[in-house]
Amino acid sequence: MAFRLSALAEILTRYQMTCEIVGDEKREISSVATLEDAGPTEISFLSNAKYEKALATTRAGAVIVSREQEVPPHLTILRTADPYAAVMAVMVHIHGYRAHPKTGIDPRAVIDPTAKIGENASILHGVTIAADVAIGKNAVIYPGVFVGPRCRIGDDCILYPNVVLYDDCILGHRVTIHAGSVIGEDGLGYAPVGEKWHKIPQVGIVEIGDDVEIGSNCSIDRATLGRTVIASGTKFSNLIAIGHGSKIGENCMFVAQVGIAGSVNVGRHVTMAGKVGVAGHLTIGDNAQIAALAGVMNDIPPGTKVAGQPAIPIKEAMRSISLMQRLPEMTRQIKALEIQVAALQKLLESQSTTP
Amino acid sequence: MAFRLSALAEILTRYQMTCEIVGDEKREISSVATLEDAGPTEISFLSNAKYEKALATTRAGAVIVSREQEVPPHLTILRTADPYAAVMAVMVHIHGYRAHPKTGIDPRAVIDPTAKIGENASILHGVTIAADVAIGKNAVIYPGVFVGPRCRIGDDCILYPNVVLYDDCILGHRVTIHAGSVIGEDGLGYAPVGEKWHKIPQVGIVEIGDDVEIGSNCSIDRATLGRTVIASGTKFSNLIAIGHGSKIGENCMFVAQVGIAGSVNVGRHVTMAGKVGVAGHLTIGDNAQIAALAGVMNDIPPGTKVAGQPAIPIKEAMRSISLMQRLPEMTRQIKALEIQVAALQKLLESQSTTP
Amino acid sequence: MAFRLSALAEILTRYQMTCEIVGDEKREISSVATLEDAGPTEISFLSNAKYEKALATTRAGAVIVSREQEVPPHLTILRTADPYAAVMAVMVHIHGYRAHPKTGIDPRAVIDPTAKIGENASILHGVTIAADVAIGKNAVIYPGVFVGPRCRIGDDCILYPNVVLYDDCILGHRVTIHAGSVIGEDGLGYAPVGEKWHKIPQVGIVEIGDDVEIGSNCSIDRATLGRTVIASGTKFSNLIAIGHGSKIGENCMFVAQVGIAGSVNVGRHVTMAGKVGVAGHLTIGDNAQIAALAGVMNDIPPGTKVAGQPAIPIKEAMRSISLMQRLPEMTRQIKALEIQVAALQKLLESQSTTP
């Protein structure tokens, strides 16, 4: 299906975005592609200056750019304040989200008779749903998923293949969990008795809010007591570990391989880049931004950007790195000073003995 | 079910812990909770000084504290030498460990006729048990688990959903493996031939001792030759990678996202905090403690605490970090010295030319 | 089955390797083992000087060593230029690779009628193959694997248990994916709208070349637009994360827990050691070598060895580390200079006032 450029511009207005078309507004667009790959019936976009050069060579039928962006004169463009948000809207309109199988409840799924499943659910073959589970409307549950006893899952949730929910976990509405992620396994809770470790029963749960998306192969520990929380609107990438009893606030964004120890409190709208580690029992303030590979060893105040191991304010971390690179020069400066001072001392000694 | 505080105190004596109740020993307790969440019929505990303030506001019916801990006078307390060990004992008594389904051998499990399974096993639907496997008594094997040919599993083992054991792996007694972990995949063994990599058959195995607990989504390579070993009593958190042929000693504790390269020898009772990495062919001595995010590039002597990248004794690492923070000051000091020395030189030159 | 040493030497010539036997060439060898474990009917090898001492105590029937290696006189040895490549060839000959079940297409697999499966495939029970999938000859697909709609898989591929391929992914020939890995999940693509994150449809795919081997529990994002690529001959260990739209060149080797952000271009024959992280939108040149735990924040030229966080040429990184260790001495040197300069100043002042 193809859409005129003018129709796509119309779509943006529904998202409260204004835009201006420069070129043929009747051009027909059938899909979205990168500047490198796009052809004459495709629309592309520029939101990262790093790819600006590709404007000169792109074969795209149209390109979404910022209001200020300079472009080669032959290009048909769509100017708007936030090209990245605009392409999102255009992609949703043209491509939409993944279509899921509409199978109803497959008779080959193993569903405990005490489980309650809302209307319009697709529960595929090879799914296990244990006793006393409650699942809301429109669920899509792929093969190999295990939903443990007494879990409660809201409406419009998607569990991709081989997701595992341990007992008693709670998911809100519109939660998506990607393949292979595990929610509610026991945390690393042991009491040391001599050199041995005695297991502490992990009687808490995991509670996930609304509109949360969890990537693939993540592991979210249940709390020892109480709850591990992933609050509404938060998005995780892959291979993320969340320790027992930690609470992650609303609208956070965690990149792949982040690891949070136990009993950490993370505020709202915190971003953590790839491989960040946070030690136990810390508090990370709202809107904090943690750079990739940072090792957080202390509380982070709200709104602070930090980097490094241990993590410190990012400006200090950058200065540290540049000073590190100055160490060879500092070594030379010290050596030079030592020679000069020794020479001065010798000179003064000779003066004091000369007369 | 509720227990009098005096009955819980009695439980501790069975664990060789003595304690003293201050307050109403007839108070009835039905569960364990955090200081923040506990209500009047719940017992809580304080073992991390960080949470001391919560004593003032907790609504807990009783609190387990250390012998020396100051507490508000209105609290009912149970004093003991090690509150963390005590709460473990109380939790085991009140809550117990997770109850598993007692299904027997589900006819929908796919079990090779040559496999031997001990009495009282629960092998759930959707499990695969390959040829010549031997499994001990009381096994609990959840849906989606794959047990490869010739694996040998001891008594009282629990394999959570979607665990995969490759061929020939050996598990001791009372081994627990959490969901999605993979034991015995091929390690990264290739011989370089020009730019290409020729796969080396990985003919070794993984051997796991007794009382080992492995978290979720871990990956433990089989040995190229011989054995990868996880010795008895060792506990892993989630997303841990163990390279081919490494041997992890008894009673170790590894936090999430630890990665051990191949052919590493780790001693007994070694602790590794989150995200530690250890390079190949190293030896880590008994009782070593490796701080979070450390990168171990050299052998570590027994009993040593290390931190940093590369990992060095933790006191040196701390000093390095504090000196790093002094670099701006050092830069200023050097600049000041250069100015002073230049002034001295100029002065001396003028003196020597003046007369 | 046993092989004479002379027969094994003959095998090496088929791989264009020459060798020389010192000792009894009629000795019968039945398997390969480490120097530590090998007995009189086993052959071992020495390729890492670290294990040289084991030559004195090994009970191996024969040992493969380099041309120059000194060995105790009693050992039967096989001298060759590259002992590691030689033992690979011997292992392939004696042990071969893992044998897979030859089951044909199990009726308990759930295969969409529109899927096309090549001859001689083993599709085990518990496998899901969705609509419009095409799979080549000789496939081995283990239980719990999910192959999403429209995936195309070449000949001779092995998918171990619980691997998940999302829709539209393309695998070449002779691709092996180990248990629990996920290919083609949605990347972390959201447009920020206020504090909220609006999901961007991830309409790209993952394309994997020929002869690729992916370890267990890896996660490879599909592209937002276009393709995420793992080119032919590349080998991954476990728990590796590849971000959306990244392109990994041919014959790369990535060790466990490597994480690559989105839109990264990695050249040919790049090696990344354990836990390396690479930030988004970077270019890593052919034959680059990235040391363990490095954090790559800038483009890396071809053929460069880098280390550290941020990653810099490895010689500079090593010098930085050794200078770090000199910081306490530098502090002392500065202090000493300050004292000397103050003394000189005082002396000069007294001289200038004395006369």
Residues of chain B with Cβ-Cβ distance to C142 below 8 Å are 146
Residues of chain A with Cβ-Cβ distance to C225 below 8 Å are 32-34, 37
B254 and B182, same structural domain? Answer: yes
Residue A33 has pLDDT above 60, yes or no: yes
- Please indicate whether, in this complex, the C-beta atoms of B241 and C251 are within 8 angstroms of each other: no
pLDDT tier at A352 (50, 70, 90 boundaries)? low
User: Could you identify the residue written with the tokens 């466990």?
Assistant: C256
Number of domains chain B is built from: 3
State the amino acid at position C351 in one-letter form.
Q
pLDDT tier at A268 (50, 70, 90 boundaries)? very high
B354 and B267, same structural domain? Answer: no
| Positive/negative CA dihedral, C250, C255, C257, C260 | negative
A176 and A71, same structural domain? Answer: no
Residue A327 confidence (pLDDT): 87
Q: Which residues contact C73 (CB under 8 A, 6 or more apart)?
A: none
C202 and C70, same structural domain? Answer: no
Q: Which residues contact A337 (CB under 8 A, 6 or more apart)?
A: B334, B337, B338, B341, C337
- pTM (two decimals): 0.95
Identify whether C266 is part of a domain.
yes
Instruction: Find the DSSP H helices in chain B.
Output: 5-14, 83-94, 314-353
**Predicted confidence (pLDDT) per residue in B68-79, tens digit:** 999 999 999 999
Residues of chain A with Cβ-Cβ distance to C320 below 8 Å are 324-325, 327
SS3 content of chain A, % helix, strand, coil (to 5): 20, 30, 50
Cα–chain-centroid distance for residue A256?
A: 7
Active site residues per annotation of C: 244
What number is the average pLDDT over the span A267-276? 98
Cα–Cα distance, A295 to A311 (Å, whole number):
5
What residues pair up with B134 in beta bridges, in sequence order?
B116, B152
**Predicted confidence (pLDDT) per residue in C94-117, tens digit:** 999 999 999 999 999 999 999 999
Cα–chain-centroid distance for residue A325?
A: 31
Question: How far is the alpha carbon of A348 from chain C, nearest alpha carbon, in Å?
Answer: 8
Identify whether B186 is part of a domain.
yes
Tell me the percentage of chain B whose pLDDT exceeds 90. 90
Residue B20 confidence (pLDDT): 95
Residue B353 confidence (pLDDT): 63
Residue A328 confidence (pLDDT): 86
CB B135 within 8 A of CB B153: yes
| A251-265, B117-131, C166-180, C310-324: segment of lowest average pLDDT | C310-324
Identify whether B109 is part of a domain.
no
CB C99 within 8 A of CB C116: no
What number is the average pLDDT over the span A67-81? 95
Cα–Cα distance, C211 to A35 (Å, whole number):
30
pLDDT tier at C327 (50, 70, 90 boundaries)? confident
Residue A355 has pLDDT above 60, yes or no: no
Structure-block tokens of residue B58: 């907790």
**Predicted confidence (pLDDT) per residue in C167-202, tens digit:** 999 999 999 999 999 999 999 999 998 999 999 999
Tell me the percentage of chain C whose pLDDT exceeds 90. 90
**Predicted confidence (pLDDT) per residue in C33-88, tens digit:** 999 999 999 999 999 999 999 999 999 999 999 999 999 999 999 999 999 999 99
B194 and B330, same structural domain? Answer: no
Question: In B24-61, which positions are buried (b, 16+ CB within 10 angstroms) versus exposed (e)?
Answer: eeebebebbbbbebbeeebbbbbbeeebeebbeebebb
Pick from A195, A319, A309, A180: nearest CA to A236: A180
What number is the average pLDDT over the span B105-120? 98
In this complex, is the C-beta atom of B138 within 8 Å of any C-beta atom belonging to chain A? no
Residue C220 confidence (pLDDT): 98
Residue C120 has pLDDT above 90, yes or no: yes
Cα–Cα distance, A293 to A311 (Å, whole number):
9
Known catalytic residue at B178? no
Residue A201 confidence (pLDDT): 96
Cα–Cα distance, A217 to A183 (Å, whole number):
10
Show which of B70, B94, B118 is a domain's final residue.
Answer: B94
B255 and B335, same structural domain? Answer: no
Residue B122 has pLDDT above 60, yes or no: yes
B86 and B17, same structural domain? Answer: yes
The CATH number of residue A213's host domain is 2.160.10.10
CB A172 within 8 A of CB A212: yes
Question: What's the mean pLDDT when you consider all of chain C?
Answer: 95
**Predicted confidence (pLDDT) per residue in A85-100, tens digit:** 999 999 999 999 999 9
Residue A237 has pLDDT above 90, yes or no: yes
Residue B349 confidence (pLDDT): 81
The CATH number of residue A87's host domain is 3.40.1390.10
In this complex, is the C-beta atom of B2 within 8 Å of any C-beta atom belonging to chain A? no
pLDDT tier at C352 (50, 70, 90 boundaries)? low
Residue B263 confidence (pLDDT): 96
The DSSP result for C57-124, as a single string, is T---SEEEE-SS----TT--EEEES-HHHHHHHHHHHHT-SPP-----B-TTSEE-TT-EE-TT-EE-
Predicted-complex ipTM score: 0.94
User: Could you identify the residue written with the tokens 């701006």?
Assistant: B328
Residue A354 confidence (pLDDT): 56
pLDDT tier at C125 (50, 70, 90 boundaries)? very high
Cα–Cα distance, C31 to C27 (Å, whole number):
12
B332 and B240, same structural domain? Answer: no
Identify whether B140 is part of a domain.
no
Identify whether C316 is part of a domain.
no
Show which of A94, A116, A133 is a domain's final residue.
Answer: A94
Please give the residue range of the domain that contains residue A67: 3-94
Give me the residues of B, 200-219, that contact C with CB < 8 A: 200-201, 203, 217-219
**Predicted confidence (pLDDT) per residue in A151-210, tens digit:** 999 999 999 999 999 999 999 999 999 999 999 999 999 999 899 999 999 999 999 999
Residue C353 confidence (pLDDT): 63
**Predicted confidence (pLDDT) per residue in A111-154, tens digit:** 999 999 999 999 999 999 999 999 999 999 999 999 999 999 99
Cα–Cα distance, C236 to C246 (Å, whole number):
15
Residue C321 confidence (pLDDT): 86
Residue B253 confidence (pLDDT): 98
Cα–Cα distance, B13 to B192 (Å, whole number):
61
pLDDT tier at A74 (50, 70, 90 boundaries)? very high
A290 and A172, same structural domain? Answer: yes
Q: Which residue in B has a C-alpha nearest to residue A294's C-alpha?
A: B293
Show which of C310, C332, C347 is a domain's final residue.
Answer: C310
- Please indicate whether, in this complex, the C-beta atoms of C195 and A251 are within 8 angstroms of each other: yes
**Predicted confidence (pLDDT) per residue in B5-47, tens digit:** 999 999 999 988 999 999 999 999 999 999 999 999 999 999 9
Identify whether C24 is part of a domain.
yes
Residue B271 has pLDDT above 60, yes or no: yes
**Predicted confidence (pLDDT) per residue in B160-210, tens digit:** 999 999 999 999 999 999 999 999 999 999 999 899 999 999 999 999 999
pLDDT tier at B325 (50, 70, 90 boundaries)? confident
- List the single residue in C146, C166, C197 with the smallest CB-CB distance to A233: C197
Residue C351 has pLDDT above 80, yes or no: no
Residue B347 confidence (pLDDT): 85
B286 and B207, same structural domain? Answer: yes
Pick from B261, B296, B321: nearest CA to B288: B296
Residue A315 confidence (pLDDT): 95
- List the single residue in C32, C178, C334 with the smallest CB-CB distance to B182: C178
Identify whether A133 is part of a domain.
no
| B57-71, B231-245, C43-57, C334-348: segment of lowest average pLDDT | C334-348
Identify whether C208 is part of a domain.
yes
Active-site residue among B93, B100, B178, B244?
B244
Pick from B146, B150, B141, B197: nearest CA to B170: B150
B216 and B183, same structural domain? Answer: yes
Interface with chain B: mutation pick from C84, C88, C90, C125, highest number of B CBs within 10 Å: C88
Residue C147 has pLDDT above 70, yes or no: yes
**Predicted confidence (pLDDT) per residue in B284-310, tens digit:** 999 999 999 999 999 999 999 999 999
B296 and B168, same structural domain? Answer: yes
- List the single residue in B34, B48, B88 with the smallest CB-CB distance to A198: B88
- List the single residue in C241, C281, C320 with the smallest CB-CB distance to A324: C320
Pick from A344, A203, A21, A322: nearest CA to C312: A322
The 3-state secondary structure of B48-109, one letter per residue: CHHHHHHHHCCCCCEEEECCCCCCCCCCCEEEECCHHHHHHHHHHHHCCCCCCCCCCECCCC
Residue C224 confidence (pLDDT): 96
Residue A178 confidence (pLDDT): 98
Residues of chain C with Cβ-Cβ distance to B310 below 8 Å are 321
